[in-house]
Amino acid sequence: MPITRRQLLKESTILAAMLTSPWTRAAQAGLTWCSGSEVLQSDGRALLKSQPHPTINPNTLARFVDPLPIPSRAKISGYRPSPDGARDKLPFYRIEMREFAERLHRDLAPTRQWGYGASVPGPIFETQSGKPLMVEWVNSLPEKHFLPIDHTIHGAEANLPEVRTVVHLHGAKAPADSDGYPEDWYIPGKSATYLYPNHQDAAILWYHDHAMGITRLNIYAGLLGLFLIRDDLESALNLPSGKYEIPLVIYDRMLSPDSQLYYPVSLKAGAPWVPEVYGDTIVVNGKIFPYLEVEPRKYRLRILNGSNGRFFALALSSGQPFYQIGTDQGLLPSPVVLRNILLFPAERADVVVDFAGKEGQRIVLKHQSKEVMQFRVLSGGPKETGSLPDRLRPVTAITQSSATRTRSLTLGEYLDASGESILMLLNGLHWKMPVTEKPVLNTVEIWNLINLTGDAHPIHLHMVRFQILDRRPFDIFTYNTQKQVKFIGPPFPPEPAETGWKDTVRADPGVVTRIIIHFEGYPGRYVWHCHLLEHEDNEMMRPYEILHS
Ligand code: C2O
Ligand code: CU
C-alpha cells in the first residue's frame, strides 16, 4: 500500500495547507517552509537517511568573487547528409563527454566533473525552429564511475559496465531512435548520432544523460547543457539579446572538504541509493556565488533548474519583479509579473529583469534565504531601445472535449518494514512490465496524475508538450482503502506562469493534477517519468508507446 508513515503523520498538515492555499502561493509570497518544508522537500529528512559525511559549508566561502561563466556555443564540425535521405546536408556537431577538473569557486581546489565538451554546463546549442541538425554524442569518459552506483537498482546490475551514457534532449520533438531511450546506453569509446528535426516553437530545451539506473549520478557528475530553439515570432518581439540574454543553469551539490563532489549514500550496506538528494551548495553555470556585471537596462534570463531533487523559489534582493515570458515549451501568451519564480527540477523559466534605475546597486538572486548569485548594476551603457511587448505568443487551449481518452495514473512510494523508502512507482508498475500507455499519434488524451505520496513530483513526458488543466486535492486515505478518488476541495487552475506549453508538471502531494496532451510528432517507444532523479532511477519511470494513427 503506497501510503507512507510520513503521510499518516502529515496528512492533516497536507490537507490543511492544500485547502487554504497551494504550496506555490506560499513560495511566491517568499515564505520559508515551516510545516510545509517537510512535506514538499526536506533537507533534514534526506540527511537523516544517509551516512554522515563532512561537507564544505558554503557559508564559509567568500561571496561573489567569481564572474558568472557563460557557456560557450556548440560549434558545427561540418555538414552531413540527412539520415532520412533528403538531399540537404545538415549541420553536424560532435560532442565528447569527458572527465576534467575545474574550480567551482576561487578558494576551492579543482573539482573533478564529467561534462559534454569538457565543460559543465556543456556548450549551448542554438538553432532555428524547423532547421534540423545532427549530433554525434561521444562517450570519452573513463571506465570507472566516481559516484556510488547502487547495483540493486533495476538496470544498474553489477554485471553491467559501470560507465554508461545516453543523451536525451529534454523537450525535443524527436524521433524515437534519437530520443535517448534509457536502455540505449553505450560505453566509453562508443558514440551515437542523433537527428533533431527541431520542428517546434522557440523554447529552452536541455540535454542531459538518461542512462538506465545511473542517470542521477551522471547528471550530478555534470552531464547537462542547454539547447535553445529560436523562431521568427520570437525574434519579432525584440527581446533582449546578445550579451543581454543570459543563460542560468542552476543546480545544487555537496562538496567534500577536498572540494570534490559528494553524493550521499544510504545507511544500508551494498545499497547506497538514497530517495532524495539536496545539496546545500548552489552552483550557477559551474560557479558557486558568481557575480555578473549588468547595464541598467532589461536582461533576458533563460533559467533551468538542473538539480537532481531541489526546487528553487527564486527572488531578487531588491524586491523587484521578474517578468516571466516563457516556460518549458516556449513563450507565454503575455508576460507574468512575479516576485518569486518557482522551478522544480527540469522546469525552465524565460524571464526579463529590468535593471534600469538601479545604477550602482548590487542585487542578489536568492533561493529562499540562500544567496545564489549577484548582479552588479553598472552606471552606464548604451541607451536601451524597445520595451517588453504585452502580447507574446498566443496559446490556444486544447479543448477537453477533443480528448479521446482519460487515463488515471498513480504516483506511489513504497517502504520497507522499517519505514524506509525503497522505490517509487507510476501506476504501481515496474519499468520492465508491459507497456500500458499507448496513445495514438495525433490524438488528444487527458492524464490524471494521482499523487499518493507525501512529496511533490515533477512529471515529464518525452516528445510531447502539454497544457495543465487543474490540480484538485483528494483524500489519500479513502483512495488507499477504496481505490476511489474522493475530492476534498475545488480544483485550482494552473499558476499564471504555467498557462503556456509545458513538458514537466509539478504533481503536488494529495492532489490530482490533470494535464491534456496532443500526441503530435513521431510514433514509437518513449518514456514518462518523475524528474526527481533519485526517483526516476529507482523505477519511477515507465515506457510509453505512441501508436501509428
Ligand atoms: Cu529531462 Cu526523461 O528527461
Ligand atoms: Cu518523484
What's the pLDDT at 8? Answer: 35
Tens of pLDDT, residue by residue over 448-499, are 999 999 999 999 999 999 999 999 999 999 999 999 999 999 999 999 999 9
Q: List, in sequence order, every beta strand (DSSP E) within 103-143.
A: 111-116, 125-128, 133-139
Q: Which ligand has the shortest distance to the CA of 529?
A: 1
What's the pLDDT at 10? Answer: 38
The CA-atom distances, in angstroms, between 237 and each of 202, 240, 395 are 12, 9, 16
Decide if 133 contacts 74 (C-beta within 8 A). no
The CA dihedral of 461, 421, 341, 286, to the nearest 10 degrees, is -90
Q: Which ligand has the shortest distance to the CA of 534?
A: 2
Q: Please state the atom number of ligand 1 nearest to the C-alpha of residue 210.
A: 2
Among protein residues, the one with the nearest Cα to ligand 1's atom 3 is 170
Q: Please state the atom number of ligand 1 nearest to the C-alpha of residue 182.
A: 2
Q: Please state the atom number of ligand 1 nearest to the C-alpha of residue 171.
A: 1
Q: Please state the atom number of ligand 1 nearest to the C-alpha of residue 527.
A: 2
Q: How far is the CA of 249 from the centre of ligand 2 (A)?
A: 21
Q: Which ligand has the shortest distance to the CA of 168?
A: 1
The CA-atom distances, in angstroms, between 130 and each of 80, 197, 345, 501, 521 are 17, 7, 27, 18, 13
Among protein residues, the one with the nearest Cα to ligand 1's atom 1 is 170
Q: How far is the CA of 271 from the centre of ligand 1 (A)?
A: 24
Q: How far is the CA of 509 from the centre of ligand 2 (A)?
A: 10
Query: Average per-residue pLDDT in the chain?
Result: 91
Decide if 281 contacts 102 (C-beta within 8 A). no
Residue 104 has pLDDT above 90, yes or no: yes
Spatial separation of the C-alpha atoms in residues 180 and 209, rounded to whole Å: 8
What's the pLDDT at 195? Answer: 96
Q: Please state the atom number of ligand 1 nearest to the C-alpha of residue 541.
A: 2
Q: Please state the atom number of ligand 1 nearest to the C-alpha of residue 170.
A: 1
What residues line ligand 1, using a CB cutoff of 6 Å? 168, 170, 208, 210, 346, 460, 462, 527, 529, 531
Tens of pLDDT, residue by residue over 63-80, are 999 999 999 999 999 999
Q: How far is the CA of 484 from the centre of ligand 1 (A)?
A: 30
Spatial separation of the C-alpha atoms in residues 449 and 361, rounded to whole Å: 45
Would you give the DSSP letter of residue 401?
Answer: G
Q: How far is the CA of 33 from the centre of ligand 2 (A)?
A: 19
Question: Predicted confidence band at 24 (pLDDT cuts at 50, 70, 90)?
Answer: very low
What's the pLDDT at 4? Answer: 40
Average pLDDT score over residue span 529-545:
97
Q: What nine digits make up the cell of 547?
A: 501508436
Q: Which ligand has the shortest distance to the CA of 455?
A: 2
What's the pLDDT at 380? Answer: 77
Q: How far is the CA of 530 from the centre of ligand 1 (A)?
A: 8
Q: How far is the CA of 227 from the centre of ligand 2 (A)?
A: 25
Q: How far is the CA of 452 from the centre of ligand 2 (A)?
A: 11
- For 511, the 3-state DSSP assignment is strand
What's the pLDDT at 112? Answer: 98
Q: Which ligand has the shortest distance to the CA of 424?
A: 2
Tens of pLDDT, residue by residue over 247-299, are 999 999 999 999 999 999 998 889 999 999 999 999 999 999 999 999 999 99
Residue 226 has pLDDT above 50, yes or no: yes
- For 442, the 3-state DSSP assignment is coil
Instruction: Specify the range with the lowest mean pLDDT, choosing from 34-43, 235-244, 314-323, 513-522.
Output: 34-43
- For 389, the 3-state DSSP assignment is coil
Q: What nine digits make up the cell of 354?
A: 529590468
- For 381, the 3-state DSSP assignment is coil
pTM: 0.92
Q: How far is the CA of 276 from the centre of ligand 2 (A)?
A: 9
Question: Predicted confidence band at 425 (pLDDT cuts at 50, 70, 90)?
Answer: very high
Q: How far is the CA of 267 from the centre of ligand 1 (A)?
A: 28
Q: Which ligand has the shortest distance to the CA of 459?
A: 2
Q: What nine digits make up the cell of 224?
A: 547537462
